[in-house]
Structure 1
Amino acid sequence: MSDLEFDGLTAVVTGGASGIGLATAQLLTARGARVACLDLNPQDVPEPMVRAHVDVADEESVRAGVTWAAELLGGVDILVNNAGIGAQGGIEDNPDHEWRQVLEVNVLGVVRTTRAVLPYLRRSAAPAIVNTCSVAATAGLPDRVLYSASKGAVLAMTRAMAADLVADGIRVTCVNPGTVATPWVDRLLGRADDPADERAALRARQPLGRLVTPDEVAAAIAYLASPLAGATTGTDLAVDGGMDGLRLRPPRPS
């Protein structure tokens, strides 16, 4: 990849103030893009990136944030739909209000932001949408029914959006991270009875034996968003340490 393959391009990253979103925004900036981070808590986004308080669960907030970013940047070429929230539990564990909350953010948040950005993408010479999905969309994980349902919807939407928008020249793809070392995972581990044991279990279920880093996911997003990937659309790229695709033999007893 070119060091400056995003030179002259603009990008909007939702959930861009921490974790995967911030790593992505920083990488796109380093490779030449002008980037706006839209987030519920954007105060820690460093310059030269610009930032705005946006709630992807609120239509007016999304449209105001996208309009502001597009006017400030001079258009939008790349949308990274990264904002999302997690949930734990089996099918009996999450009440209806939690289902509504997670789907509002993880699914309808993608819908709202994409709708708001599409008029600008249709005027771009190199338009791309990259959605942050999850290995939970492709592998059955215990105690993740609600989260998996939301990310399964994102995966299906990615493919359907790619089919709908290909005639406009807009590429739509997604990344499927495994368990990533983010503040959300740290908070999750902090609530565990034995955080060290839970972290070891999360590492062990990924064949590489460690958590994925935000920078690794950001690199995949940058590849999919790049004009150099102009023939790639409707695809999902796993960044999961082999979690979904590999079936390893258990260690032999010593």
Structure 2
Amino acid sequence: MRVKNKVVIVTGAGAGIGAATAVRMAEEGAKVVVTDIDEKMAISVASGIGENALGLKLDVSKASEVEEVVSQTVAHFGSLDVLVNNAGFGILGTVVTTEEEDWDRLMDVDLKGVYLCAKYAIPEMIRSGGGSIVNLASTISVVGIPDRAAYVASKGGVAALTRAMALDHANSNIRVNSVAPGVIDSSYYEEMYKKVDDPVAFRKNLEARSPLNKMGEPVDIANMILFLASDESKFATGAMFTIDGGFTAG
């Protein structure tokens, strides 16, 4: 029960890493607010967890929705201890082929969403005496890959913002870290599979990025997020923890 009675918000938790994180938090004793832009998916995951979970719709790019979710969390569970900024998506494209509206939407969710959620969560954490924020970065925060210009830029921003937030709020007993997943077998890639000519070859290429020659599972990332949410990581802040099957070791 490593996060017993801690109140946790997980964004983008209707599937994949977010859903796995919400479940692991609940298994370890937390009260979890499961949020997703798809309200039905959020409610479904929360229902599967039980009475210690609340499912809410949230578009992290909209300040009014973020503020409302934080308010509902505190009203329902009494406090806020942990924020997991997981919501995000990726698109294919170079800076030449990426449309401006697609670039703006990705940045609004993947980077601005982290800022907005932290903006409204941190004051509540201060009232509770501190807390932990875990941002989902990526291995591409430090290693570029072709044809993902907007996504690479957004995740590089998340890694940098994590360090800034850690320094800004350390005196308030708020730790801020990021997790950098490698290639994870989750819903993130479903839309990409639909857009490529040979999905099977595309998947094999993804698997080959890891020296372990396989994709990770959402729970592999959820377990690291759980560690960073718990008091076991009480001396960790401003750091990025890479879980990538050895991809960045090469």
Structure number with the higher helix fraction is 2
- Distance, in Å, in 1 between the alignment partners of 2:21 and 2:128 is 20
Partner of 1:149: 153
The answer as to 2:180 corresponding to 1:183 is no
Question: Which residue among 224, 231, 234 is the counterpart of 1:220?
Answer: 224
SS in 2 for 1:107: helix
Taking the aligned partners of 2:142 and 2:74, their CA distance within structure 1 comes to 34
What is the match of residue 235 of structure 1? Answer: 239
CA RMSD of aligned residues (A): 1.1
The normalised TM-score by structure 2 is 0.94
Of 95, 114, 126, 2:99 maps to: 95
Which secondary structure state, in structure 1, belongs to the residue aligned with residue 247 of structure 2?
Answer: coil
1:25 aligned partner: 22
Query: 8 Å contact 1:12–1:79 — kept in the other structure?
Result: yes
Paired residue type of 2:117: T
Unaligned 5+ residue runs, structure 2?
none
Q: Name the structure 1 match of 2:139.
A: 135
User: Which is further off, 180-189 or 205-214?
Assistant: 180-189
- Aligned residue in 1 for 2:175: 171
Alpha-carbon shift at residue 196 of structure 1 (Å): 0.9
Rounded Cα–Cα distance in structure 1 between residues aligned with 2:221 and 2:61: 24
Structure 1 portions without partners, runs of 5+: 248-254
Contact 1:16 1:42 in 2 (8 A): no
Residue number in structure 1 paired with 2:33:
36
Residue 250 (structure 1) aligns with = none
Q: What is the CA–CA distance in structure 2 between the aligned matches of 1:47 and 1:174, rounded to whole Å?
A: 25
TM-superposed CA distance for 1:126, in Å, is 5.0
> Any runs of at least 4 consecutive aligned residues in structure 1 with deviations exceeding 4 A, and if so which?
none
Distance in 2, matches of 1:165 and 1:14, equals 21
Question: Partner of 1:252 in structure 2?
Answer: none
SS in 2 for 1:122: helix
Query: Which of 110-119 and 187-196 deviates more?
Result: 187-196
Between the two proteins, what is the percent identity of the paired residues? 34
Matched, 1:82 2:86: yes
The partner residue of 1:73 within 73, 77, 96 is: 77
- Alpha-carbon distance in 1 for matches of 2:188, 2:178: 20
Which structure has the larger Rg over C-alpha atoms? 1
Give the distance between the partners of 2:91 and 2:140, measured in 1 at CA: 12
Count of matched residue positions in the alignment of Structure 1 and Structure 2: 243
- Per the normalisation by structure 1, the TM-score is 0.93
Aligned-partner Cα distance in 1 for 2:100–2:194:
25
